[in-house]
Amino acid sequence: MGSVPLMRTIALNTSAIMGSSPVLQNYINGQWVASSTTEFLEVVNPATTEVLATVPLSLASEVDQAAQAAATAFVSWRRTPASDRIQYLFKLKALLEEHLESLARTITMECGKTLAESKGELRRAIENVEVACGIPMMMQGYNSEDIARGIDEFMIRQPLGVTAIIAPFNFPGMIPFWFMPYAIACGNTCVIKPSEKVPLTLQQIMQLLEQTGLPTGVVNLVNGAKTVVDAILDHPTIRAISFVGSTPIARYVYSRAAANGKRAQCQGGAKNPVIVLPDADMELTTRIMADSAFGCAGQRCLAASVAITVGAAKQTFTEAIADTAQSRRVGYGLEDGVQMGPVITAQSRDRIHHLIQQGANSGATVLVDGREPAIPGYEQGYFVRPTILQNLDPTSELAHTEIFGPVLSLIHLETIDDAIALINQGQYGNMACLFTSSGAAARKFRYEAEAGNIGINIGVAAPMAFFPFSGWKDSFFGDLHGQGQQAVEFFTQTKVVVERWQDWTRQF
């Protein structure tokens, strides 16, 4: 994370690689166009290491072409009634449902998660399309009559113009949908840059968008990495940036966007703590916690990363989670019965190994060690099995470092107050959860924990599309989050009109 590129970079001309794997194209102004770049990356299936495609690292001039197309499209798109704009989203929803299976397979092949996880991701994407279909009401303003005698005042919401979306690798089918449906339903146009590690899913989604008959230039796709991001951040026509990725890059994108006078919402990394109280239902807690920590191979920004056991929960939870971790079936996500796939790259796997060792060096016990995965038939794949670090020192660096892999650290404390204090010392604030059967403990936790997404007896507190995705602290830079009403506010600017008309009755 945090640096580009992590994969093999190849400098070739397009024709030289056409034969081996498809070279992906950009989608600009309703046309599929080859990039003029000479730099490409291989898109690799992390389970099989098969090269699936070659992605261009597009040029700044290609971002300019996409932004110009979006600016031209904006002129008539913003004049299209909202009730007509959402008709394209209704069609998109139907197409996403129809192609769900094949899209899910693509996500699994390029990203590594299981087919069930890929389908779950797509359901979340579709949910955002559904919510954005409510834009005709969601973007309404308000008014007051007679703010003074014969004078009325209105607040109306208008679209911004050209917006841009920069996505991470871990949810290629969902994360662009936290923003894109709202952006276009509100009357904006947009440029999307997928992660260069997983660009295939968005290629397929753009083909579906094309089938809806959406006017050309309303949504454009530019593949690439840092050059594309920087060109987006500096482009004078692009008004707003929606970014999701690691904290150092989120901070960078937010600063550079702000310096260029753009509106920005930048979601960053996480280190999600979960408190387990002794009165929790241990069987349920263990099952939910295993799904949270090891689902999507721990590569979820809402993955449980640290379990803080309080009092007598230590022994029961530790034994149960160790058993569950050991029995999780790891393999290629397209195969039946597989519960966890690989991590995204060899570099990610090596970084996770290094962090496990760092935990051991700082005094933790590697209770379950996933560093020797041995997956028959997939020996070359980037697998790490579920790993548990017991008795991690709460003051160690690792206790506060995002691992982004299937590693759960266990910390033991004596009181819920100590556990909440530890959570609140953390740099991140994406999610915090509590497992308990006490309403009083739950209320205290909800009230005091410093995180934007809270789970009570929930392991992945992912907000539905009609709620904001509320990261705090270093997990979010900005004020308006993605999804729901906050997305509508982000993608519109308010205009206030104060109006006086001569009283017509006096004229006759």
Unique residue bearing structure tokens 């031209």:
72
43 binds ligand NAD per the rule CB under 6 A: no
d(CA 30, CA 217): 6
Q: Cβ closer to ligand NAD: 244 or 274?
A: 244
Residue 382 in the binding site for ligand NAD (CB under 6 A): no
Residue nearest to ligand NAD (CB): 245
CB 384 within 8 A of CB 352: yes
Query: Is the Cβ of residue 121 or residue 291 nearer to ligand NAD in the bound state?
Result: 121
- Read out DSSP for 303-362? -EEEEEEETTHHHHHHHHHHHHHHH--BS-TTSTT--B---S-HHHHHHHHHHHHHHHHT
Q: Coil, helix or strand for 164?
A: strand
Q: Is 170 in the site for ligand NAD (CB under 6 A)?
A: yes
Q: Nearer Cβ to ligand NAD, position 166 or 313?
A: 166
301 a catalytic residue = yes
Size of the site for ligand NAD (CB under 6 A): 30
Q: Determine if 1 is a binding residue for ligand NAD (CB under 6 A).
A: yes
Q: Is residue 46 at the binding interface for ligand NAD, with CB under 6 A as the rule? A: no
- Closer residue to ligand NAD in complex, CB, 354/500: 354
Q: Does 57 bind ligand NAD (CB under 6 A)?
A: no
CB-based contact 222:24 (threshold 8 Å): no
C-alpha to C-alpha distance for 224 and 305, rounded to whole angstroms:
30
Instruction: Work out which of 107, 111, 129, 249 binds ligand NAD, going by CB under 6 A.
Output: 249
Sign, CA torsion 462/467/472/478:
positive
161 binds ligand NAD (CB under 6 A): no
DSSP annotation of 161 reads S
Q: Could you tell me the smallest distance in angstroms from the CB atom of residue 109 to ligand NAD?
A: 17
Place of tokens 């509106």: 263
413 is a contact residue toward ligand NAD (CB under 6 A): no
DSSP run (H or E) holding 435: strand 431-435
Q: Give yes or no for residue 3 binding ligand NAD (CB under 6 A).
A: yes
Q: Is 127 in the site for ligand NAD (CB under 6 A)?
A: no
70: exposed, middle or buried (C-beta count within 10 Å: 0-12, 13-18, 19+)? buried
CB closer to ligand NAD out of 310 and 399:
399
475 is a contact residue toward ligand NAD (CB under 6 A): yes
Site string for ligand NAD, 444-463 (x = CB under 6 A): --------------------
DSSP state for residue 215 in the 8-state scheme: P
Pick from 88, 294, 317, 404: which binds ligand NAD (CB under 6 A)?
Answer: 404
Q: Which residue, 95 or 250, is less far from ligand NAD as judged by CB?
A: 250
Residues 178-237 that bind ligand NAD (CB under 6 A): 193, 195-196, 225-226, 229
Q: Is 168 among the residues that bind ligand NAD (CB under 6 A)?
A: yes
Least distance from ligand NAD to the Cβ atom of residue 51, Å: 19
Which CB, 249 or 434, lies closer to ligand NAD?
Answer: 249
- Using CB under 6 A as the binding rule, whether residue 341 contacts ligand NAD is answered as no
d(CA 153, CA 499): 6
Query: Which among 317, 341, 339 is positioned nearest to 328, based on CA atoms?
Result: 339
Indicate the Cα dihedral angle 488, 174, 475, 493, nearest 10°.
-20
Among residues 339, 403, 46, 383, which one has the least CA distance to residue 198? 46
Binding ligand NAD (rule: CB under 6 A), the pick from 270, 290, 384, 488 is 270
The answer to whether 403 contacts ligand NAD (rule: CB under 6 A) is no
Measure the CA–CA gap between 452 and 472, rounded to whole angstroms: 5
310 lies in the site for ligand NAD, by CB under 6 A? no
Closer of 238 and 416 to ligand NAD (Cβ): 238
In angstroms, what is the minimal distance from the CB of 274 to ligand NAD?
Answer: 16
- Which sign does the torsion angle of CA 440, 441, 446, 447 carry? positive
Distance, in Å, from the CA atom of 370 to the CA atom of 499, rounded to the nearest integer, reads 68
List interacting residues with ligand NAD (CB under 6 A): 1-4, 166-170, 193, 195-196, 225-226, 229, 244-246, 249, 267-270, 301, 402, 404, 430, 469, 471, 475
What residues are annotated to the active site?
301
